Structure 1
Amino acid sequence: MSAETIRLAIDAMGGDEGPSMVLPGLDIVLKRCPELRFDLFGDAEKLDGVLAAYPALKAASVVHHAPVAIPMDAKPSQALRMGRKKSSMWLALESMKTEGGAKAMVSAGNTGALMAMALFSLRPMKGVDRPALAAIWPTVRGESIVLDVGASIGVGTRNLITHAILGAAMSRAVFGIETPTVGLLNIGVEEVKGLEEVREAGQVLRGLDLPSLRYEGFVEGDDIGRGAVDVVVTEGFSGNIALKTAEGTARQLAAYLRMSIGRTLRARLGYLLAKPAFMRLRDKMDPRKINGAVFLGLNGLAIKSHGGTDAEGFASAVELAHDMVRNDLLRRIAADVAALEETLELADAG
């Protein structure tokens, strides 16, 4: 029995390279997931020109002309003014609201613009005041989810609790973990440390004993890479810094290895002997394989790919969208948020 067709909306003009990166990426993922169909939004002439080299992708796609491409350096307010109704990003988001439309949207475009447009177009789902941007993080145990990594700055106690629900639902949908472990990022594991909002959120999560997750307490920065928990919850300012620090550290480590390997003949011979191990390390740290951050808590799925990625990296972001649709992430989130609301109401009444 063939898999059910899944339709995705693609901002084909997003990213540093636009269609010349996006469309080859879609061709890669179509070979892995032949049930996918694509609504491509962008300059029709440019898209048709690139599509000519990918007949299978062309057959699985519908091109929708969008005359405006949001610049990568545009401010969110500028993007909303120039992109409403005509941009590839906006039209891709809006296509999820039509009958029989796309089930998720993927863009490698301007992050701030996508965040603003997604919030304006899709609106937060009931029970979610502040949506979150969630990223998949490689760890020594496998992978974890970290949120928020940049959507909301300075969130409150209730927002942190809701983000724990959002992250746990994503963990179940993407990783298949029945009861994900959740930790709040803090400056120490002791209950008396950290900001008041974080301490209060920890007390509430521990007291609620929610069935959709297992709260493990506070985690520190070095616990993220260790994979101490399945879901790490923080607010967007510290989460974004943690994400950029990890990416920079990975590049720094790679640079150190390259310098050390080429320093002496003995080092070069040692590299040849250890090459399989280095290849496994490179594969594990390849950012293309975990490309794609997700705006959670909206009435639709918007996935943000790195703007500077290549075709393989964009394919990873599209596969993430595919997994979320296939595993019904929006329904899971709505049910978990509703259960949280009911639990909090009962706690207040008691």
Structure 2
Amino acid sequence: MSTARTAAKPPERTAYLVLGMHRSGTSAVTQVLALAGASLPENVMAGDEHNAKGYFEPWKIAMFNDGRLRAGGAAWDDIFAFPYRPLATKAERAWLNRAQALFEEEYGEVRYPLLKDPRVTVLMPFWRTVLTELEVGARCAIPVRHPLAVAGSLARRNGFAAEKSVLIWSAYMLAAEAYTRDLPRAFVSYDGLLGDWRAEVARIEAAHGAPLPKLTEAAGKAIDRFLTPELRHNDSTEGLKDLGWAGALAAQVLSWFEAAATGAAPGPAALDKAAKELARRGQDIGVLVSPATRDLDEARAELVELRQRLAYEEGQKRVLQAEVDALRRDVAEASQRLDSILADG
């Protein structure tokens, strides 16, 4: 009897996961992947004054992820949201079931679902289980942007102190790397993407070991139109040394990711050291930080959800109105043709 093993069948669906901190270039990377053939979800978060071109993330999944983070005692802006906090088995199973149903609702049977919600980064062990049980593979893209550029954007949008922002950035980047070591992944320079997106896309394809689904000439022209200079906000990158231990930790993490984004393959020792330092700080002050962050997030969650629902419904109303206007034009044109035929007869 032969003892040869049959090769595992590759998944029929493969998700593109864009991982990283809020305001770190995830929207730009996501739109590039979407224009190159990956499929955005059904319900996409609308743009606003902070990101006029759109966030390209599923607001229903984002709201779900906020709830899952709070269930574990954290929030998206908790500097100690990494490492992942599993729930008791029964409770975790209930959340997993809800996530699977929501994923299927948002993506259906598309071949290459594209999931971009920064919260997925610190919830990756959870979402990897979701995808595995749905028999969906994963390829990851991790934008690399200077933490002080991210901090400048968060100061304007959320009023966060620079120390908090660079620590959140550090936690997300540590999670993005630690949870994807056995997955196809590409580290994407945000500045490189704006400067020469074709070179960055080539690096993504090489790292994934597969071409993007549909990077046509027309897609390339659309990407050229999308990646415009105004996407480069808050370019200041000096001053981490002025942020005490938070800046020192962020500088250590940044050094590793900048090397990875150039194609180097640094070992994980430096990031593991940074993760241990963050965990040590969490033991000292986490009990003072995480519960307060979670409670504030819960207080604002309902308002955020209502705003997203309103934006979505208004968008749907505009689409419907456009369809009605087009139908009226069709009716008017048909009526004119009928009048012309009758007149000729």
* TM-score, reference length from structure 2: 0.26
* TM-score, reference length from structure 1: 0.26
* Structure with more of its chain in strand, by fraction: 1
Higher gyration radius (CA): 2
